[in-house]
Amino acid sequence: MEISLTDREASLMEVLWDRGPSTVAEVKEHLEDDLAYTTVLTILRNLEAKGYVTREEEGRAHRYSAAIDRDSAQKSALRSLKRKLFRGSTELLLTRLISDEKLSAAEVERIKQLLDRRGDRPRGKKR
């Protein structure tokens, strides 16, 4: 499933992933940006139309829940970025990330360990 989120949609999804099911007011309260209630409601309705959130009635309010998980959204965003800007090359994407970031020695070591573990896998098989 291809998941495509705008920046605003992603910020609302982050609230739902972190907090769990939430009302419009609760989502609004936990956003970094000060958005109008109606703006948050509109974005949640758009996310619902896309199938990314569900809602349940709760009295006069609705409680929205993430219908997609964070991991799936991240993977989809990376696949899209890789395809659009890096000619589909994981190597080009990873090279850009590593060369542009100021990584600590600990971060470099964790990346090396991940790559070492990845190199141990037989081709074509996933863990």
pTM of the model: 0.81
Structural domains counted in the chain: 2
What sections of 35-126 are H helices per DSSP? 37-50, 70-85, 90-100, 105-120
CA separation (Å) from 87 to 4, 29, 83, 94, 112? 19, 40, 5, 13, 24
Same domain, 49 and 93: no
What pLDDT shows up at residue 102? 84
What pLDDT shows up at residue 124? 57
Task: Give the amino acid at 124.
Answer: G
Token couple for 81: 């970025």
What pLDDT shows up at residue 126? 47
How many percent of the chain have pLDDT more than 90?
A: 76
Q: Which residues of the chain are under the pLDDT cut of 50?
A: 126-127
d(CA 67, CA 65): 6
Same domain, 60 and 105: no
In this predicted model, what pLDDT tens digit does every residue of 61-74 receive, in sequence order?
999 999 999 999 99
Token couple for 25: 């007011």
Position 82 in a domain: no
Position 17 in a domain: yes
Position 84 in a domain: no
**Which residue range is the domain that position 109 belongs to?**
89-127
